[in-house]
Amino acid sequence: MKAVTAFSVKIDVEDAVADLKSQLSTCEPVMVLFFASPAYQPDRIAAAMADAFPAAVTFGCTTAGEIVTGRMLAQSVVALALDSSSVRSVRVEVIQNLDAPSYDAFAAFERHFNTPMADMDPARYVGLLLVDGLCRKEELIVDRIGDLTNVNFIGGSAGDDLRFSATHVYANGTSHAHAAVVALLEPVVPFSFLKTQSFTPLPPRLTVTRANEAEREVVEFNHKPAVVAYAEALGVAVDEAAAHFLSNPVGLVFEDEPYVRSPQRIKDGSMVFYCAIKEGMELSLLQSTDIIADTRMALAAARAEYGEISAIINFNCILRTLELRQKGLTEQYGNIFAGVPSIGFSTYGEQFIGHLNQTATMLLLY
């Protein structure tokens, strides 16, 4: 297979895209996936990428930091080009207006691949999902996609460099706000998924006894005000609870694998999370571990199971990136992917089976 990555830190959109085009000139891509700092004007970069690669499907989104083969970047644009020896066919669609989304995109996939979504083989097809990172609708979208098909969709929520004002997704020359881009690929090569989070479950259990799901708010755990129960589980005073949010989120644990739900803030006695949590869910308190060691181990396990990796698309939570930046570990994290064509970005949420927090979800091509 042929996978080529490129990045540019040129400030002007046209210069940056020309830079990418030059670096990707060894590839005749059928698709170009790109992740761009919001410093690049969204409409212009979407159009310029489509113009630069007229024979390819182009899609992507804004970021809160970019990742490219061996490096973590900021204020840049990164791109991955895949040719026909990597991807047999690809179709990109936009889900507009996430307040009342239509899933016509999936009818378009069915027409393009001439197969009902419900019958598509998840070993043959893979989906990519890029969502407006400020929409707070990711769980609904992922849940709906999961109902429609067994094909796995993996992805991330677009960022905007922690401004929290507007994120954008790109598809075939156009930028969209309050929208999601879905792409369905039929790779030529084998592929797998990697979900890694650096947390280990602790014994305390927190059962959601009252929640405001639409607001991603847990009102009560174990029939107590959420923050009181959380602090008790941690063994700390209530006024110290928020200081533990990053290192002690909570998670749904299934087959020893945590699906992390990260607290954002305290609202009266409630806890507001970065994803919705349903009443009745039993959550485990989590303890943070080592992102570098855990990511390295997860990639090694994938290599041991499937063989040498030819390309990686990495959706890495902004909270992980902030921790890496704070600890001066961004170079070490980038080095984990050195030698493998890879792109990614720091996300406002990660998607794989569900909507996740403080996780990296990756598509690995072999």
Rule CB under 8 A: which residues touch another protein?
118, 122, 139, 143, 146-148, 150, 152, 252, 254-255, 259, 278-282, 353-354
Pick between residue 237 and residue 254 the one whose CB is nearest to another protein. Answer: 254
- Nearest CB to another protein, comparing residues 167 and 351: 351
> Based on CB atoms, which residue is closest to another protein, 266 or 277?
277
Q: Find out whether 133 and 349 touch, Cβ atoms under 8 Å.
A: yes
Kindly tell me which of 62 and 359 has the beta carbon lying closer to another protein: 359
Which lies closer to another protein via its Cβ, residue 31 or residue 117? 117
**Side chain identity at 30, as an amino acid letter?**
V
User: In terms of CB distance, is 19 or 139 closer to another protein?
Assistant: 139
How far apart are the C-alpha atoms of 229 and 31, rounded to whole Å?
A: 49
State the minimum distance, in angstroms, from the CB of residue 139 to another protein. 7
Q: Please check whether residue 30 is in contact with residue 90, taking contact to mean a CB–CB distance below 8 angstroms.
A: yes
CB of 152 to another protein, least distance (A): 7
Cα distances (angstroms) measured from residue 293 to each of 113, 132, 296, 300: 40, 30, 5, 11
In the bound complex, what is the minimum distance in angstroms from residue 198's beta carbon to another protein? 20
Closer CB to another protein, 150 or 289, in the complex? 150
Minimum distance of another protein from residue 314's CB (angstroms) = 21
The residue among 334, 351, 248, 338 whose CA lies nearest residue 292 is 334
Find all residues with CB under 8 Å of 27, minimum gap 6, and list them: 2, 3, 4, 81, 82, 83
Give strand pairing partners of 265. Answer: 272
**With respect to another protein, which residue has the nearer C-beta, 85 or 207?**
207
Minimum distance from CB of 148 to another protein (Å)? 6
Q: How far is the CB of 63 from another protein (least distance, A)?
A: 26
Please, what is the minimum distance in Å from the beta carbon of residue 354 to another protein? 4
Nearest approach, Cβ of residue 135 and another protein (Å): 18
Whole-angstrom Cα distance, residue 59 to residue 84? 17
Count Cα atoms within 13 angstroms, Cβ side, for 271.
31
